[in-house]
Amino acid sequence: MAAIQQILSEIHYEMVRQLAEGGMGVVYEARQLGAGQFSKTVAVKLIREEYSAIPEFQKNFIGEARLVADLIHTNIVQTYHLGHTGGQYFMVMEYVGGHNIEQFLDKHRQLGRLVPVDLAAFMVSRIARGLAYAHQKRDREGNHLNIVHRDIGPKNVLIGFEGDVKLTDFGIAKALNLMYNEEGKVIAGKDEYLSPEQASYAVTDARADLFPLGIVLTEILLGKNIFRSLERSQSRRNILTMQIPQFSSLRPEIDPRLEAIIQKCLRRDRDQRYQSAAEVLHDLEVYLYSGGYGPTNEKLGTYMRELFATENPKPAPGPRLTFRRQDQP
C-alpha cells in the first residue's frame, strides 16, 4: 500500500487551458505526466473556488464522481479519477477534442446555415444510446441505480472531431443513494430544457430525460429552442403549456417518420411519451438506416472538421498550473 501511495504522489497534472466554466465547476485541458516521458491529454474538473469549502457542493461533486465511475460507454465521457489537493476536490476525465452542441449550433448560426437533417438525427441517436446505457445501469451488487440525468442540453453533449458524440456533466443527476436530491422543493435543470415533470416540481424517472432529448433534436434541426424565453419563468410555462408545432411546417425536410419521433418525445404526459431511451434509439436508427446506408461517426467527424476548419483547434494556453495529486487516506 505504501508503494502505491508513493507512486500516486509522483503523478503530476499540468494544466494547459480552461475549456469550460459553469455555475459550480471549471474544466481544464491538462496533461497527465508519467514515467518514460509518458503524456496523456485529459480534462480536469474542479469545484469553483468559492464553492469548494461548502459541504453540500463537495457532497454533490463526490456523488457525481462515484456515479460516473462505472459508466463506461462510448457515448458518455469517462471519468478516471477523483482526487483531493489543497482542500479542493478534482475529477480527471476523458478529453474530447471538439465542441459541445451549443458551440456547434453557434457556428451554424454564424454561417447562416442549418445542420443536415440526417446528422441531427444521428447525433441525437447517439445521445439516446448513452442515456439508454445510463438508465439501465446497475451497481456491483446488481441493484438498479435509477439514474436520471436531469440536465440534457446542448452544453452537456460533446462532439469530437472524429465524430464521437458524448454525454457529460452528471452533476445534478439523481441516482439511488448516490446523489443529493430535493425533488419537490427545487427544480433541477435549465429552464428551457426541462421536462414537464421537472417544471412542475414532480418526482422524475428516466422518462424525464426524453422530453429534453426531443428539445435538443428540434433545436439542432431548427437552429433555435422554441421553448426559450427571456424570462426563466416563461420558459417553464412554455414547457408546460405552449402548443407543440408540426416541425415539418418549420422545416420541410423533416419527413413524417422523423416528425412522429419528435412528437412522441415531446408528449407532456409521460405515460404517452417514449418509455425508454432505448425506444428512442430504436426508432431513430430505423429512420436513419432502414433505407440502407446512413450517417456514421466518420461522416459526422468529416463534417465537424470542415465546419471548424478555419479555427485554431488549440487556442493559446493560459496560465499554467501544476499540482501534485494527493488522495484522501
- Give the structural domain span for 47: 9-95
Q: Is residue 3 part of a domain?
A: no
The predicted structure's pLDDT at residue 190: 87
Which amino acid is residue 250, in one-letter code?
Answer: L
Q: Is residue 328 part of a domain?
A: no
Tell me, what CATH number does 112's domain have? 1.10.510.10
Q: Is residue 160 located within the same domain as residue 290?
A: yes
Q: Is residue 86 located within the same domain as residue 134?
A: no
* The three grid cell numbers given for residue 319, joined into one nine-digit string: 496560465
Q: Structural domain tally of the chain?
A: 2
Q: Is residue 321 part of a domain?
A: no
Q: Is residue 114 located within the same domain as residue 227?
A: yes
Q: Is residue 295 located within the same domain as residue 179?
A: yes
Q: Is residue 323 part of a domain?
A: no
CA distances from 295 to 113, 115, 122, 303 (A): 19, 13, 7, 11
Tell me, what CATH number does 20's domain have? 3.30.200.20
Cβ(325)–Cβ(13) below 8 Å = yes
Q: Is residue 155 located within the same domain as residue 113?
A: yes
Question: Containing H/E element for 29?
Answer: strand 25-34
Q: Is residue 235 located within the same domain as residue 143?
A: yes
Task: Single out the residue in 95, 118, 144 at which a domain terminates.
Answer: 95
The predicted structure's pLDDT at residue 237: 96
Q: Is residue 161 located within the same domain as residue 215?
A: yes
Cβ(123)–Cβ(165) below 8 Å = yes
CB-based contacts of 222-231 (< 8 A; 24+ apart in sequence):
222/114, 222/247, 222/250, 222/251, 223/105, 223/108, 223/109, 223/114, 223/115, 225/192, 225/193, 227/192, 227/193, 228/192, 229/192
Query: What does the alpha-carbon distance between residue 192 and residue 178 come to, in Å, rounded to a whole number?
Result: 26
Q: Is residue 4 part of a domain?
A: no
Q: Is residue 31 located within the same domain as residue 132?
A: no
Q: Is residue 39 located within the same domain as residue 145?
A: no
| Residues of the chain with confidence (pLDDT) below 50 | 1-11, 315-323, 325-329
Q: Is residue 131 located within the same domain as residue 272?
A: yes
State yes or no: is 269 an active-site residue: no
What φ, ψ does residue 160 adopt, rounded to 5°? -80, 160
Q: Is residue 86 located within the same domain as residue 103?
A: no
The predicted structure's pLDDT at residue 83: 85
Question: Which residue is catalytic, options 151, 169, 191, 283?
Answer: 151
The predicted structure's pLDDT at residue 319: 42
Cβ(117)–Cβ(178) below 8 Å = no
Q: Is residue 318 part of a domain?
A: no
pLDDT in tens, 254-300: 999 999 999 999 999 999 999 999 999 999 999 999 988 899 999 99
Q: Is residue 186 part of a domain?
A: yes
Task: Single out the residue in 41, 61, 95 at which a domain terminates.
Answer: 95
CA nearest to 43, candidates 172, 171, 169 = 169
Task: Single out the residue in 95, 112, 129 at which a domain terminates.
Answer: 95
pTM above 0.75, yes or no: yes
Query: What does the alpha-carbon distance between residue 15 and residue 28 come to, in Å, rounded to a whole number?
Result: 7
Q: Side-chain half-sphere of 61: how many Cα atoms within 13 Å?
A: 26
